[in-house]
């Protein structure tokens, strides 16, 4: 059995024939690392030393009748590739991956808008995605499509491949939601240039301790919060905050395992589930603002200026995950002074964090005070809707910012929603391909 043979060798002495056979059989570097008691980086280093790299073939859309010319490429462990990289300046966009509850076609729309803006800027647009039921994987969307899983190993292989020809400007990780954003750290550590928001700004927004420091520095209110890695720590924090508390793992996809708990028994039951999905990250506890009004705001920042793409009011009370809720633009029923405060907080945060491109922030309003709940240094579910409501492709604007075009150069100011009527938005079923198309301006 192949797994048994792999377990017989440490990483640094894996035979070339065995390692190649394992890769041809579909084993990822991190799986091999587990079998050989090593790390993914050590396996990758061993492969490089032995000259084992994936080749890329074109997807054959003509049943072998004549040579395929599609821009669809996929990795395989054969000897030769069918499509050499071009010598043009190029940028890679990481897609959103498979549709899931809480992450789906909205992010695919953002990827399409970004790709169209990149191509219009005279730069070759390369997309990495693995979902055949989305517009981003249509034959005419990008200059090149790599049908590959959104893992570090597969993305880094494409980066190396495309970097060997022409000028690779870098990689956009901010358009496909949390899945590609989680690859920003490993890619940065490997020396890959991130286009748009730098890793330091991503970490300042994603890491609760660092984000809390930014809020305190800017004197922006936030619900009382704490972090814990065990039930005892969580109980201590919960008693300090006072129940009910919002509890959630850090760095997870689409609000997974997020809940409001009301007592110690509920917290203990919750911790068993949350710890299982936290990937060794701490659990976050926030004082739950019961009965608050929640607001969503999308902005684009170029380091000098900030454009407010859209500000939406949630119909449900704060605490309903945004993937399951409705929101309206303009933010009906919210006092103008509250809206201006939210815009001011968003602008100052974007500039302070060092955002270059899109950022989404969520606020809760209670007793006239605007509390900042979180910041997402990437595209959000609401960007396609805001784009339709304001007539501006905000993901495209962010892509051009990542390529070095300022908001002023693009002539971009705050978005203005249609005045004739407000529009309602909700997170749709991820199975609708036609829905995705209706969000992409043509």
What is residue 284's predicted lDDT score, i.e. its pLDDT? 84
Q: Taking phi first (over 0 means left), then psi (-120 to 50 degrees means alpha), and beta for anything else, what does residue 307 get? A: beta
Structure tokens at 75: 């990795």
Question: Which part of the chain has CATH 3.30.470.20?
Answer: 293-438
Burial class (CB in 10 A: 0-12, 13-18, 19+), 402: buried
User: What gap in Å lies between CA 292 and CA 316, rounded to an integer?
Assistant: 9
pLDDT along the chain (442 residues), means of 10: 89 92 93 92 93 87 60 87 88 87 77 96 94 76 91 95 89 93 94 96 89 94 87 90 84 63 89 61 82 93 96 84 79 94 97 97 94 92 93 96 96 80 42 30 28
Question: Which part of the chain has CATH 3.30.1490.20?
Answer: 224-287
Question: With contact defined as beta carbons under 8 Å apart, do 148 and 127 qualify?
Answer: no
Question: How do residues 346-362 score in pLDDT, each as one tens digit?
Answer: 999 999 999 999 999 99
Structure tokens at 223: 């619900």
User: What gap in Å lies between CA 105 and CA 356, rounded to an integer?
Assistant: 23
What is residue 427's predicted lDDT score, i.e. its pLDDT? 45
- Candidates 339, 229, 353, 243; CA nearest to 303 is 353
Question: With contact defined as beta carbons under 8 Å apart, do 379 and 224 qualify?
Answer: no
User: What gap in Å lies between CA 338 and CA 244, rounded to an integer?
Assistant: 25
Question: Which part of the chain has CATH 1.10.1030.10?
Answer: 2-50
Paired strand residues for 102: none
User: What gap in Å lies between CA 82 and CA 278, rounded to an integer?
Assistant: 41
What is residue 80's predicted lDDT score, i.e. its pLDDT? 84
User: What gap in Å lies between CA 316 and CA 199, rounded to an integer?
Assistant: 33
- Candidates 240, 338, 347; CA nearest to 302 is 347
Third-level CATH fold of 2-50: Carbamoyl Phosphate Synthetase; Chain A, domain 4 (1.10.1030)
- Candidates 306, 313, 344; CA nearest to 328 is 313
Structure tokens at 15: 């035979």
User: What gap in Å lies between CA 235 and CA 241, rounded to an integer?
Assistant: 10
How many CB atoms within 10 Å of residue 45?
15
User: What gap in Å lies between CA 79 and CA 91, rounded to an integer?
Assistant: 26
- Candidates 264, 316, 313, 315; CA nearest to 285 is 264
Residue holding tokens 């005892």? 232
How many CB atoms within 10 Å of residue 281?
17
- What class, spelled out in words, does domain 224-287 have in CATH? alpha beta
What is residue 323's predicted lDDT score, i.e. its pLDDT? 66
Q: What is the pTM of this model?
A: 0.86
Question: How do residues 103-134 score in pLDDT, each as one tens digit?
Answer: 668 888 999 999 999 999 999 999 999 887 77
Question: Which part of the chain has CATH 3.40.50.20?
Answer: 55-196
User: What gap in Å lies between CA 375 and CA 197, rounded to an integer?
Assistant: 13
- What class, spelled out in words, does domain 55-196 have in CATH? alpha beta
The CATH homologous superfamily of the domain defined by 293-438? ATP-grasp fold, B domain (3.30.470.20)
Fill in the DSSP letter of residue 193. Answer: P
What's phi and psi for 425, nearest 5 deg?
-130, 145
Question: With contact defined as beta carbons under 8 Å apart, do 199 and 173 qualify?
Answer: no
């Amino acid at each position: 059995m192949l797994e048994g043979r792999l377990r017989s060798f440490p990483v640094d002495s894996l035979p070339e024939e065995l390692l190649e056979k394992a890769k041809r059989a579909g084993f990822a570097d991190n799986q091999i690392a587990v079998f050989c008691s090593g790390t993914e980086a050590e396996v990758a280093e061993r492969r490089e030393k032995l000259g084992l790299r994936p080749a890329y073939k074109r997807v054959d859309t003509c049943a072998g009748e004549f040579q395929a010319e599609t821009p669809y490429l996929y990795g395989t462990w054969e000897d030769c590739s069918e499509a050499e990289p071009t010598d043009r300046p190029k940028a890679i966009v990481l897609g959103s991956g498979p549709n899931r509850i809480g992450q789906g076609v909205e992010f695919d729309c953002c990827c399409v808008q970004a790709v169209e803006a990149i191509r219009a800027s005279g730069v070759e647009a390369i997309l990495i995605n693995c979902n055949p039921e989305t517009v981003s994987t249509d034959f005419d969307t990008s200059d090149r499509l790599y049908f590959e899983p959104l893992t570090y190993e597969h993305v880094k292989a494409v980066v190396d491949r495309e970097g060997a020809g022409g000028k690779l400007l870098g990689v956009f990780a901010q358009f496909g939601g949390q899945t590609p954003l989680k690859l920003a750290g490993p890619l940065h550590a490997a020396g890959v240039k991130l286009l748009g928001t730098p890793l330091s700004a991503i970490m300042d927004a994603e890491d609760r301790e660092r984000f809390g420091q930014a809020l305190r520095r800017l004197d922006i209110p936030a619900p009382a919060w704490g972090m814990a890695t065990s039930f005892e720590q969580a109980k201590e924090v919960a008693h300090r905050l006072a129940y009910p508390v919002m509890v959630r793992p850090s760095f997870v996809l689409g609000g997974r395992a997020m809940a409001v708990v009301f007592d110690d028994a509920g917290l203990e039951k919750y911790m068993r589930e949350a710890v299982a999905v936290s990937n060794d990250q701490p659990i976050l506890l926030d004082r739950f603002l019961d009965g608050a009004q929640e607001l969503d705001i999308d902005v684009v920042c170029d380091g000098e200026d900030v454009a407010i793409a859209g500000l939406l009011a949630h119909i449900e009370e704060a605490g309903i995950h945004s993937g399951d809720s409705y929101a309206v633009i303009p933010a009906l029923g919210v006092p103008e002074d509250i809206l201006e405060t939210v815009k001011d907080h968003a602008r100052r945060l974007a500039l302070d964090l060092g955002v270059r491109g899109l950022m989404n922030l969520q606020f809760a309003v209670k007793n006239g005070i605007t509390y900042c709940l979180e910041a997402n240094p990437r595209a959000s579910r609401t960007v396609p809707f805001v784009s339709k409501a304001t007539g501006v492709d905000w993901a495209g604007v962010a892509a051009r910012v990542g390529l070095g075009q300022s908001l002023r150069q693009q002539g971009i100011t705050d978005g203005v929603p249609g005045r004739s009527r407000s529009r309602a938005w909700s997170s749709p079923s991820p199975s609708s391909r036609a829905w995705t198309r209706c969000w992409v301006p043509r």
